[in-house]
C-alpha cells in the first residue's frame, strides 16, 4: 500500500490516471443508481397514471440507508483500504442490477423496488470511500479542482441518468423505425432483439424499464474491472469495531458540529441537496401537469430536467476552473444569491416558455457555483484520520435534508402551485447565501 500524499514531507507526482479512473468509476455508479430510480418512476406512471407517485417513496429509499448507517460506513472508510471498499461495491452493483433486471423482466415491481433498496445501501457504503480517496490521490493543493471534478462528474451522471432514462423509456414505449441505429444495424437486428426481449408488442412499460436495466448491467462489468487498478493507500483510522457504530449518529454529528469550518460548510452542502431534491420533485409535478399523466410524461420531464442539468454541469465546470488553484468561498456566496434570483424569476413565467427553460439553466449554474467551493473546503478541513467519519456525517446531514425535501415538496404540492413553490425556494436560498457570506468573512483561509 502507498502512504497518503498529504503526509508531511511526502512529495510526489499526482497520479492523474488513477484520479480519472476514480472519476469514471464513481460517475458510472451514480449514473446506474439514478437510472435505476428513474426507470421505476415512469413505470409507475405507466401502470397507475397520475396516481403513480413512486417518486416520493423512492426518494425516501435512496436516502434512508445514509441516515441509518452513516457512522458505520464512515468507520469502514477510515478503518479499511478505500480502494478495496470501492472494488467490493463495484461487484455488488453487478449483483443488484442483475436482480433488478430479472424482477422487471418477470413483471415483479415489488422485487425491483427491493433490489433498489439494496442499491441504496451500496451507494451508502461507496460514498465515503470514493470521496475520501480523492485527497489521498491528489493531495491538498489540488483539492479544489479535484473535488469539483468528482462532484460535477457525479452530478452530471445523476442528471444524465434521470434525463436519459426518461427519454429512453418514452422511446421504448413507442419505438420509431426510422432512426440512425436502424439504418446502421438494419431492421433484422431490431426484429431479433424485439423477439427476444419484447414479447408483448408496443407500449410495454415493463420492457421499457427492463431493457435499459440490462444495458446498465453490461456497462457495470468493465467499470468494476477497472476498479481493481486503483492505487491502494494505507488506512489512517485504527478504531476497533463496536456495535455502537449502528446508533452513535448524534455523537458523529456532534464531532462535526464542534468544528465551525465543517459545520457551516456542511450546512451549505446539505442545502444544495435539499434544493436539488425539491426542484427535481417539482419538475416531476410540472411534467405531470403539462402531460396530464399520458405517455408524454417522460419526454416532458426530460426536457425540464435537461435545462436544469445542463446548467448544473456548466456551473460545475466553471466553479472547478475558478477554484483550480485555491478554494474560493466568494464563488459560493455569488452562487447562493443567483439561486435566489433565479427561483424568484421562475415564479413569474409560464412553465412551457423558452424563458422558463433559460431560467432553469440559470438556477442549475448558480447551484453548482454554490456547491463546489463548499465541498472542497469541507473535505480539505477534515482531519486526515477522521475524514471518512466526517464525510459520512456530512452524508447523514445531506440525506436528512434530502428526506426532508421529499416531505417538504409533497406538502407544497398539496397546497400551492409550482410558481409559489419557486418563491419559497428563492427565499430559502437567499437566507443560505447570507449565512455563507458571513462565514466567508471570518473563516481562516476562505476567500
Query: Which residues have CB under 8 Å from 250's CB, separation 6+?
Result: none
Find, among 335, 341, 342, 332, the residue nearest to 363 by Cα.
342
What's the CATH number where 390 sits?
Answer: 1.20.1250.20
Q: What is the pLDDT of residue 93?
A: 94
Bridge partners (DSSP) of residue 2 are: 233
Cβ atoms of residues 375 and 269 within 8 Å: yes
**Residue 147 within any structural domain of the chain:** yes
Q: What is the pLDDT of residue 391?
A: 75
Q: Is 325 helix (H, G, I), strand (E, B) or coil?
A: coil
**Residue 325 within any structural domain of the chain:** yes
Residue 167 parent element (H or E): helix 143-173
Average pLDDT by consecutive 10-residue portion of the chain (447 residues)?
52 75 89 88 78 77 83 84 90 95 92 94 87 77 74 79 79 61 59 57 76 92 90 79 79 78 86 91 85 70 81 83 74 90 92 89 91 82 71 80 89 91 94 87 62
Quote the distance between the C-alpha of residue 295 and its chain's center: 26
**Residue 429 within any structural domain of the chain:** yes
Q: What is the pLDDT of residue 13?
A: 76
**Residue 122 within any structural domain of the chain:** yes
**Residue 2 within any structural domain of the chain:** no
Cβ atoms of residues 152 and 373 within 8 Å: no
Query: Nine-digit cell at 157?
Result: 451522471
Number of other CB atoms surrounding residue 405 within 10 Å: 21
> Domain span at residue 161?
16-229+257-442
The Cα angle at residue 362 between residues 358 and 365, in degrees rounded to 5: 135
**Residue 4 within any structural domain of the chain:** no
Q: What is the pLDDT of residue 339?
A: 93
**Tally of domains in the chain:** 1
Quote the distance between the C-alpha of residue 6 and its chain's center: 27
Q: What is the pLDDT of residue 98?
A: 96
User: H helices within 323-353, ranges in order?
Assistant: 329-346
pTM here is 0.70
How far apart (Å, rounded) are the C-alpha atoms in residues 292 and 446? Answer: 48
**Residue 7 within any structural domain of the chain:** no
**Residue 65 within any structural domain of the chain:** yes
Quote the distance between the C-alpha of residue 166 and its chain's center: 16
CA 293 vs CA 22, 48, 53, 122: distances in Å: 39, 9, 11, 32
* Count of helices and strands (H, E) across the chain: 15, 0
Q: What is the pLDDT of residue 408?
A: 92
How far apart (Å, rounded) are the C-alpha atoms in residues 179 and 197? Answer: 19
Amino acid at each position: 500500500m502507498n502512504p497518503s500524499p498529504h503526509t508531511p514531507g511526502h512529495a510526489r507526482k499526482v497520479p492523474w490516471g488513477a484520479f480519472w479512473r476514480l472519476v469514471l468509476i464513481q460517475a458510472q455508479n451514480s449514473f446506474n443508481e439514478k437510472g435505476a430510480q428513474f426507470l421505476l418512476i415512469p413505470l409507475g406512471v405507466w401502470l397507475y397514471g397520475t396516481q403513480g407517485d413512486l417518486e416520493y417513496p423512492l426518494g425516501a429509499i435512496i436516502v434512508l440507508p445514509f441516515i441509518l448507517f452513516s457512522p458505520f460506513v464512515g468507520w469502514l472508510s477510515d478503518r479499511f483500504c478505500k480502494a478495496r471498499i470501492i472494488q467490493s461495491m463495484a461487484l455488488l452493483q453487478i449483483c443488484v442490477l442483475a436482480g433488478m433486471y430479472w424482477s422487471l423482466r418477470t413483471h415483479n415491481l415489488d422485487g425491483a423496488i427491493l433490489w433498489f433498496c439494496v442499491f441504496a445501501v451500496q451507494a451508502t457504503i461507496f460514498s465515503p470511500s470514493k470521496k475520501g480517496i480523492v485527497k489521498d490521490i491528489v493531495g491538498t493543493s489540488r483539492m479544489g479542482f479535484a473535488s469539483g471534478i468528482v462532484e460535477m462528474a457525479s452530478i452530471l451522471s445523476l442528471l444524465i441518468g434521470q434525463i436519459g432514462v426518461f427519454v429512453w423509456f418514452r422511446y421504448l414505449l413507442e419505438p420509431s423505425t426510422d432512426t440512425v441505429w436502424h439504418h446502421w444495424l438494419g431492421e433484422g437486428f431490431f426484429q431479433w432483439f424485439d423477439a427476444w426481449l419484447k414479447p408483448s408488442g408496443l407500449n410495454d412499460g415493463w420492457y421499457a424499464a427492463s431493457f435499459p436495466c440490462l444495458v446498465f448491467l453490461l456497462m457495470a462489468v468493465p467499470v468494476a474491472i477497472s476498479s481493481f487498478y486503483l492505487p491502494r493507500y494505507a488506512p489512517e483510522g485504527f478504531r476497533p469495531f463496536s456495535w455502537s457504530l449502528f446508533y452513535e449518529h448524534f455523537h458523529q454529528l456532534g464531532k462535526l458540529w464542534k468544528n465551525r469550518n465543517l459545520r457551516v460548510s456542511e450546512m451549505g452542502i446539505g442545502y444544495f441537496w435539499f434544493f436539488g431534491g425539491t426542484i427535481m420533485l417539482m419538475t416531476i409535478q410540472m411534467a405531470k401537469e403539462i402531460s396530464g399523466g399520458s405517455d408524454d410524461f417522460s419526454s416532458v420531464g426530460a426536457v425540464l430536467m435537461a435545462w436544469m442539468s445542463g446548467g448544473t454541469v456548466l456551473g460545475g465546470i466553471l466553479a472547478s476552473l475558478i477554484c483550480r488553484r485555491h478554494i474560493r468561498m466568494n464563488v459560493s456566496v455569488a452562487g447562493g444569491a443567483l439561486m435566489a434570483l433565479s427561483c424568484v424569476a421562475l415564479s413569474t413565467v409560464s412553465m412551457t416558455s423558452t424563458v422558463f427553460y433559460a431560467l432553469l439553466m440559470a438556477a442549475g449554474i448558480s447551484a453548482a457555483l454554490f456547491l463546489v467551493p463548499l465541498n472542497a473546503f469541507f473535505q480539505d478541513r477534515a482531519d486526515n484520520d477522521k475524514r471518512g467519519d466526517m464525510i459520512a456525517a456530512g452524508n447523514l446531514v445531506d440525506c436528512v435534508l434530502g428526506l426532508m425535501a421529499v416531505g417538504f415538496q409533497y406538502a407544497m404540492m398539496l397546497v400551492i402551485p409550482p410558481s409559489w413553490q419557486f418563491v419559497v425556494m428563492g427565499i430559502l436560498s437567499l437566507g443560505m447565501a447570507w449565512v455563507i457570506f458571513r462565514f466567508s468573512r471570518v473563516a481562516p483561509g476562505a476567500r
